[in-house]
Amino acid sequence: MFRRLHFKLTAYMGLILIVFMFFVATGIYSFTRIVYEDGNKDLMETEAIRIYTYRSMTYSGFMLNGSFLQRFGPSVALMGTQKLDACYVIYDKNLRRVYSEENEIAIADDIKSLAEKSLQDKQDSFVTKKIGRFNYRIYTKFFNDMNGKSVVQVYQSTINEDILWSFLKTVLFVTGITGMAILLCISYAFTGQAIKPIRDTWMRQREFVADASHELRTPLTVIQTNLDVVLSDEEGTVDENEMWLSNAYSETRVMAKLIDELLILAKADANEEKLDISEFSFSEIVENVCQNMEIIAKKKGIDFQLNLEDDVMIRADYDKVRRLVVILVDNAVKYTEKGKVTVSLYTDKNKKKYFTVEDTGIGIAAKDIDRIFDRFYRADKARHREGGTGLGLSIAKWIADVHRYSLTVESTINVGSKFTLRM
């Protein structure tokens, strides 16, 4: 399922990249061509003016030997000495060819209609036209001065430029394909990272449902088995079946606790569990919880110690913080046999508050520490029941996170564990 999703996301990303690269390449090509054509238009207009100025001076009879024009003519026309590599034709008002300078491929007759239109409209024109097998850039300049109306046509073949533009398109295409292939590979890697949290969440959800079913099935099986025994004893009294009924009742309490914890986590996931913030003494909560747990600890032969700083005040949700304390202390007592449990509450020199629960119990293996706060996770894969549901530490971690506290654990197998709540 996630493999297919991965490929779909990559395909969608690839489609977006293709469209993006297409528009970028098209934009670059079009912009470059427009700028280039505008530049050529300006050059051809300048060349037309230079030609017209030069010819006008010649026709006026000024320095007919041309030595002055050859030396100063371009400067007079403000042209500089550079001449555009192009052919040109000059027409008078009657469309008679006055002068022309053409190469072996003459197209003046093919573009004469443009000169006629320029005379009629009294406007300049700039076009690119295909004549025969080649494209030509044609600039037609209209003049109207003391010499009368005339038209200068400047044209040049674009064959070399067409080759250049074809090469540019090929480069853009190859670059685009190569870039897109690289971006697709990068996209594949990034989409894989993007769906990883979704995949992990889905896997945890599936595991959560399976574990919840398992945890609910176990007490239900015990209840059903005990009630079957009671029902099979048709002549037995309630007192005679007290053990079986007691077993069934105790399992209902386990189920009630499990369902309560499942509801807490479900509301937490849906952000429906609201905090009732108030200021209270954390010291009183810890003392009260430890007084109750100390009785259970002594029955198990555990040395229970409490190091408590008085009047440690916090602003938090009273019920949830109390539940967190109960979970951590109960967890320490539950997994310690005839050892030692130490509960501490203190404030450091930076006014940071610390609540720690340390035991000398069975400890947690290094490979299990990263998952100890996962729902239903227990270090013992056989899931030996110790009266818990496997949700306590998950709830404790959620309570710490929702209050923006830090809950960490340090542990060594067969040495003990230490849970630290930093507030």
Q: pLDDT for 16-25, tens place per residue?
A: 878 887 888 8
Q: Using the predicted structure, report yes or no on whether residue 359 has a pLDDT greater than 80.
A: yes
| Cα separation, 376 vs 326, whole angstroms | 18
Residue (of 361, 395, 397, 396) closest to 379 by Cα position: 361
| Cα separation, 275 vs 138, whole angstroms | 79
3-class secondary structure, 60: coil
Same domain, 200 and 241: yes
Same domain, 129 and 17: yes
The residues that bridge with 420 in the sheet, in sequence order, are 356, 408
Same domain, 241 and 352: no
Same domain, 339 and 318: yes
Q: Enter the tokens of residue 216.
A: 């609910």
Do the beta carbons of residue 197 and residue 5 sit within 8 Å? no
Residue 143 CB partners (closer than 8 Å, separation 6+): 52, 149, 150, 151, 152
- Given pLDDT bands bounded at 50, 70 and 90, which one contains residue 253? confident
Q: Using the predicted structure, report yes or no on whether residue 360 has a pLDDT greater than 80.
A: yes
Mean pLDDT value across residues 248-267: 77
**Neighbouring C-alpha atoms within 13 Å toward the C-beta of 305:** 11
pLDDT for 59 equals: 52
| Cα separation, 295 vs 288, whole angstroms | 12
Q: What percent of the chain shows pLDDT beyond 70?
A: 86
pLDDT for 63 equals: 38
Same domain, 258 and 316: no
Question: Domain holding 224: CATH number?
Answer: 1.10.287.130
pLDDT for 380 equals: 54
Q: pLDDT for 96-152, tens place per residue?
A: 888 777 665 568 788 888 888 988 889 999 988 888 888 888 999 999 887 788 899
Q: Locate tokens 């209050």: which residue?
A: 403
Last residue within a domain, chosen from 211, 244, 269? 269
Helices (H), 270-404: 282-299, 318-334, 366-369, 392-402
Checking DSSP bridges between strand 148-157 and strand 125-131, what pairing results, if any?
unpaired
Do the beta carbons of residue 335 and residue 371 sit within 8 Å? no
Q: Enter the tokens of residue 350.
A: 């930076």
3-class secondary structure, 372: coil
Mean pLDDT value across residues 157-169: 84
| Cα separation, 355 vs 420, whole angstroms | 6
Question: Domain holding 49: CATH number?
Answer: 3.30.450.20
- Given pLDDT bands bounded at 50, 70 and 90, which one contains residue 68? very low
- Given pLDDT bands bounded at 50, 70 and 90, which one contains residue 80? very low
pLDDT for 70 equals: 41
Same domain, 181 and 139: no
Same domain, 217 and 362: no
| Cα separation, 49 vs 59, whole angstroms | 15
Domain that holds residue 183: 166-269
pLDDT for 75 equals: 40
Q: Using the predicted structure, report yes or no on whether residue 384 has a pLDDT greater than 50.
A: no
Do the beta carbons of residue 5 and residue 195 sit within 8 Å? yes
Helices and strands (H, E) in the chain, number of each type: 9, 12
Mean pLDDT of the chain: 81
pLDDT for 281 equals: 94
How close are the terminal C-alpha atoms of the chain, in Å? Answer: 42
**Neighbouring C-alpha atoms within 13 Å toward the C-beta of 187:** 19
Mean pLDDT value across residues 183-210: 77
Same domain, 81 and 23: yes
**Lowest pLDDT segment from 62-76, 304-318, 367-381:** 62-76
Residue (of 145, 180, 166, 165) closest to 60 by Cα position: 145
Mean pLDDT value across residues 191-208: 76
Q: Using the predicted structure, report yes or no on whether residue 351 has a pLDDT greater than 80.
A: yes
Alpha-carbon Rg of the chain, whole angstroms?
Answer: 46
Mean pLDDT value across residues 299-324: 91
| Cα separation, 46 vs 329, whole angstroms | 93
Same domain, 289 and 309: yes
Q: Using the predicted structure, report yes or no on whether residue 342 has a pLDDT greater than 60.
A: yes
Question: Domain holding 312: CATH number?
Answer: 3.30.565.10
Same domain, 306 and 345: yes
pTM: 0.52
Q: How many domains does the chain have?
A: 3
| Cα separation, 50 vs 44, whole angstroms | 10
Q: pLDDT for 395-419, tens place per residue?
A: 899 899 999 999 999 998 888 999 9
Pick from 100-109, 171-180, 299-308 the range whose average pLDDT is largest.
299-308
pLDDT for 105 equals: 55
